[in-house]
Amino acid sequence: MQTKLKTSGYRILINGKPLPANFISLITQISVQQELNVPSMFTISLTDLSFNQPGWQGIELDTFKPGDIISIAMGIEHYETLFIGQITALEPSFSNEAMLEVRGYDCMYWLKFGKYSRSFIKKTDGEIVAQIAKEVGIDVQVENTPLVNAYVLQNDQSNYDFLLQRLAQINYEMLVDGKKLIFRSSQEGMTPVKELRYPAEVSDLNLRLKVSTEGNKLTVVGWDVGKKQVVKAEVDSPSTKAKMGGQATGDSLASR
């Protein structure tokens, strides 16, 4: 009888090359944080306990440089790439032990640089996103946005803040897959793309379910510059996405 043991592992590449072997034993933690509409972030923590000991060889800080491309993959027997981005910060500290923290973000972070004032005339939101992504050097995958905007103003905003505003307007979301920015309609309420088993794949799980307390009617008021009159729209029935696979919305449950 032969027992097959499966162990988890990771792989880190710097500018396409494996992390030097002498750094592997120093890694104490690898963290990748991912969230919709927010630049993904990684942190690699290294600790050398032999600091101040005879024969200490030191840490080659030049191994990591701001702007270097970092790729992090994790898995059990088969690695899945979780993050591709750039180093943006190095934090070495020396006390009883030598420590180094390496941090960085994916390419969505590039949208945060600078503020712009400009207008987009007769363009869909998809075309606007594609134009901005090309300007900052990001590959982009845009879901069709059929509505053509007569006029959209970016008023002294970073590209990131401006796109967040557009996302809220049309119920879209953005994320980064590898080196590509994805701009798509909200996936809220859709079936999960992956199921996680507890406790085999998840060590801690905390959930909360509560009904909405913000009311069941929404009124939006605007101003039509051309006709010089108030424009008003009201919605009193949530979208089916708000049910998230259930039979009723939170508003309807709360009102009973």
pLDDT digits (tens, 9 = 90+) for 38-76: 999 999 998 876 665 555 566 677 788 999 999 999 887
Q: Which two tokens stand for residue 193?
A: 């793309």
CA 222 to CA 236: how far, in whole Å?
18
Start-end of H helices in the chain? 21-24, 125-136, 159-170, 250-254
Buried-state track 106-145, b at ≥16 Cβ within 10 A, e below 16 = bbbbbbeeeeeeeebeebbbbebbbebbeebebebebeeb
In this prediction, residues 116-136 reach a mean pLDDT of 94
In this prediction, residues 178-197 reach a mean pLDDT of 80
Q: What percent of the chain has pLDDT over 70?
A: 79
Q: Which two tokens stand for residue 160?
A: 């990131």
How many CA atoms lie within 13 Å of 244's alpha carbon, on the beta-carbon side? Answer: 8
Q: What percent of the chain has pLDDT over 90?
A: 43
CA 175 to the chain's CA centroid: 5
Residue 152 has pLDDT above 60, yes or no: yes
**Tell me, what's the pLDDT at 200?**
74
Residue 138 has pLDDT above 90, yes or no: yes
**Tell me, what's the pLDDT at 3?**
45
**CA torsion through residues 184, 187, 193, 196, sign:** positive
**Tell me, what's the pLDDT at 16?**
92
**Tell me, what's the pLDDT at 253?**
62
**Tell me, what's the pLDDT at 121?**
95
**CA torsion through residues 55, 59, 63, 69, sign:** positive
pLDDT digits (tens, 9 = 90+) for 9-31: 889 999 999 988 878 888 889 99
CA 18 to CA 12: how far, in whole Å?
6
Measuring CA to CA, how many Å separate 7 from each of 12, 77, 194, 226?
17, 7, 21, 66
C-alpha dihedral over 24, 38, 187, 8, to 10 degrees? Answer: 10
**Tell me, what's the pLDDT at 54?**
59
**Tell me, what's the pLDDT at 55?**
56
Given a contact cutoff of 8 angstroms between Cβ atoms, the answer to whether 59 and 100 are in contact is yes
**Tell me, what's the pLDDT at 5?**
42
CA 89 to CA 44: how far, in whole Å?
11
CA 104 to CA 86: how far, in whole Å?
5
**Tell me, what's the pLDDT at 89?**
93
pTM: predicted TM-score of the whole model, two decimal places: 0.71
Given a contact cutoff of 8 angstroms between Cβ atoms, the answer to whether 252 and 243 are in contact is no
pLDDT digits (tens, 9 = 90+) for 67-101: 999 999 988 778 889 999 999 999 988 877 788 89
